[in-house]
Structure 1
Amino acid sequence: MTHPSAWTQTEIKCDSGASIPQRLSVLLPMVRHLKLCINVTEPANREAGLWVLRQTVARGDSRLCALCVNCLGNPPLFYAGQDLLQGLLDILTDGSSLTVLDLRGVPFTLNDAFVRSVSTLCPALQSLFINNSSLVCGVVAETVRDVLRLCPALTTIGLFQASLSHDVLKDLLLPQRPALKQIELRCERSLKYVMPLCDQIWAEVRQRHPTLRVDLELDHTLPELHVTGVLQPSIPVRHLRLLTWTWLLDEVCLVGRSYANTLETLELQTTPSPELNSVLITLATQCTKLCEVHCFCVVSQEVITAFCTHCQGLRKYTLKTRKEPHPWTCTTLT
């Protein structure tokens, strides 16, 4: 257990209220990739999680290069996670070697000051995910521009789409930027208050970064009239989650026409209808690179047959001809 190779991928859960054994303080500095799960219901768990992080980077020569933080449980009423977020910043003072920071599992609003501080403390970041489940987007586009300037090696980024702007995308076009690999975008009601992105700028980004893949999640709080504006044809969409619970007939048709060459995963939450069956069958003939399809409403048997026939790489699907008790089981193909 004292050999560094034993601590390449490490997951630690702080959810019992018990303190972490002191003997771990000798071993934690060897961790390279840490997934830290903290039950935020009790202060003792939060303190234990911060202790783990402090010990991981305590020596100043930490091997930690990737950190993922997940919050478990229901936060106390009016608790905004300030102790956890400030503790994270205090610890990252010695975390300049960090190349991956994943905060998608942190449910608290991440503001401009926090994100700028993270970028300043960790200039070697190559991947940064701040597209969490917060109900509010607290990061403006100018902050994202600062992130790109402070972290010149960044090639993978997860954001609320409301944090994007034409200027941010133009910064990604600069010749000194490395090849962009992945963008994750969470689209929710904050998009009502920002200027929409035109298809032309996405076409320029795609030309500048030909291997770029974009993952889109459209939240149920996104007004229906904004959905088609988000689904610009030139975006190289790989994973698409349409979690809007609205009629999606036109949107599914648009997806089939626009993302036939890039789409690998599709998830829908919508209302069943014969029309939906028809457009899904058409989509199956267009998006033949699909590996996963998950439709959380009843479909016809013809829809299942269409996806299994035309999508030769299909590995998983959730397509049901009748309702089942929640949660619906996923079918895995061998």
Structure 2
Amino acid sequence: MQFVTLFVLSLFRPIRCESGDCVPQKFSDLLPCIRHLKLIVSVADRAHRETGLWVLQQVLARGEGRLRALCVSCLGNPPLFYAGQDLLQGLVDVLTNGSSIMALDLRGVPFTLSDSFVKSVAALCPVLRSLFINNSSLVCGVVSETIRDVLKRCPALNTIGLFQASVSHDVLRDLMEPQRAELKLLELRCERSLKYVTALCDQIWADVRRRHPGLRVDLELDHTLPELQVPGVLQPSIPVRELRLHTWTFLLDEIRVVAQSYAGTLEVLELQTTASPELNTALVALATQCTKLREVHCYCVVSQNVIEAFCSLCPDLHRYTLKTRKELHPWTCTTLR
């Protein structure tokens, strides 16, 4: 009971749909008042999914356009061969009343999103300013022409999360159209689907940067991304703010590129790689150049001088995961302030 009370008061607490009666009846009348909703749905049982969709329907249908931001996240182990069809179709069905939604975050939905689903969402939510569809699916199911359609239907979009395989040169040119809103954030997930699309050249990124001088780009390189594709992703003109290299490969050349290309913009760096003396040297060199870093997380052991370099040379650093010896998973993060 207290959990729901906190949610209603703050209008930003999550509702967890893990049982058939996750919202007490006495509080259900308050659902239409919600403006920001994080909906956490257990996918293990159909009844839980139906409860989650019922909550969302109450928020939207009875809310008279109050809902502004929606985040959907899934937990639990789905049934064998379950691909989320009922949940995704149910989401489209309830969004019929969702024209007021300005922010939609589907990063916590683990199922492959289709072209038809994304187009339906864009058509039902034309006032979107923020859209994240770069979820944890193993493959990208959305082609670049679908993203171009989304940009046409949602002209106010300025914060976008995508698989990089969905981004073509034409998509970036559409984002540079003079009538479009100023682009603030582009979050890109890079995985094995990039093998099948044309790599984005550095010149188009330079053009995007001139058109949107305030743009920041967050890059995540997944372990499924072939090593040969990594240099094509790390183009020097990208204004990278956060970079997560989850490739589990040797990253010495990549670290040197990062230090040279993103020194003026990089604020968060995360590495999953192999320890070596050469890595220590490369990280110390990076610390001397990327002085705007606020966070650095390296999930392999490093030397003490690496820790000292980041702490002394990066005045804005407030969180880091840098270890001189292995720990049990998960490694703890050190907070400076």
Q: TM-score range by the shorter chain?
A: over 0.9
Q: CA deviation at 1:255?
A: 0.2
Question: 1:95 & 1:165 partners in 2: Cα distance?
Answer: 29
The CA RMSD over aligned residues, in Å, is: 1.5
Question: 1:317 & 1:233 partners in 2: Cα distance?
Answer: 25
The structure 1 residue matched to 2:254, chosen from 251, 257, 260, is 251
Contact 2:143 2:165 in 1 (8 A): yes
SS in structure 1 opposite 2:97? coil
TM superposition score normalised by structure 2: 0.97
Question: 2:11 & 2:246 partners in 1: Cα distance?
Answer: 35
Contact 2:259 2:286 in 1 (8 A): yes
Question: 2:334 & 2:24 partners in 1: Cα distance?
Answer: 42
SS in structure 2 opposite 1:88? helix
Question: 2:208 & 2:294 partners in 1: Cα distance?
Answer: 25
**Alignment-derived partner of residue 33 in structure 2:** 30
SS in structure 2 opposite 1:20? coil
SS in structure 2 opposite 1:109? coil
Provide closer, same or farther for how the CA distance between residues 321 and 99 of structure 1 changes in structure 2, counting only shifts above 3 A: same
Contact 2:246 2:272 in 1 (8 A): yes
Query: In the TM superposition, what whole-angstrom CA distance separates every residue of 1:24-76 from its partner, at most 9, and x where no partner exists?
Result: 33100100100000111111111110010010012261310000000001111
Q: CA deviation at 1:7?
A: 4.9
**Alignment-derived partner of residue 331 in structure 1:** 334
Does residue 222 of structure 1 match 2:222?
A: no
SS in structure 1 opposite 2:91? helix
Does residue 65 of structure 1 match 2:77?
A: no
Does residue 56 of structure 1 match 2:69?
A: no
**Alignment-derived partner of residue 16 in structure 2:** 13
**Alignment-derived partner of residue 118 in structure 2:** 115
Question: 2:86 & 2:19 partners in 1: Cα distance?
Answer: 19
Question: 2:265 & 2:63 partners in 1: Cα distance?
Answer: 43
Amino acid at match of 2:268: T
Correspondence list, 1:224-243, <5 A: 224-243=227-246
The structure 1 residue matched to 2:298, chosen from 295, 299, 321, is 295
Question: 2:139 & 2:202 partners in 1: Cα distance?
Answer: 25
The structure 1 residue matched to 2:104, chosen from 101, 106, 120, is 101
Does residue 139 of structure 1 match 2:142?
A: yes
**Alignment-derived partner of residue 272 in structure 1:** 275
**Alignment-derived partner of residue 213 in structure 1:** 216
Contact 2:16 2:22 in 1 (8 A): no
Q: Give the aligned length.
A: 334
Amino acid at match of 1:97: S
Question: 1:126 & 1:164 partners in 2: Cα distance?
Answer: 18
Uncovered stretches (5+) of structure 1, i.e. residues with no partner? none
Correspondence list, 1:141-156, <5 A: 141-156=144-159
TM superposition score normalised by structure 1: 0.98
Query: In the TM superposition, what whole-angstrom CA distance separates every residue of 1:166-192 from its partner, at most 9, and x where no partner exists?
Result: 000000111000100000000000000
Uncovered stretches (5+) of structure 2, i.e. residues with no partner? none
Runs of 4 or more, structure 1, over 2 Å off, are 4-8, 16-25
Contact 1:56 1:62 in 2 (8 A): no
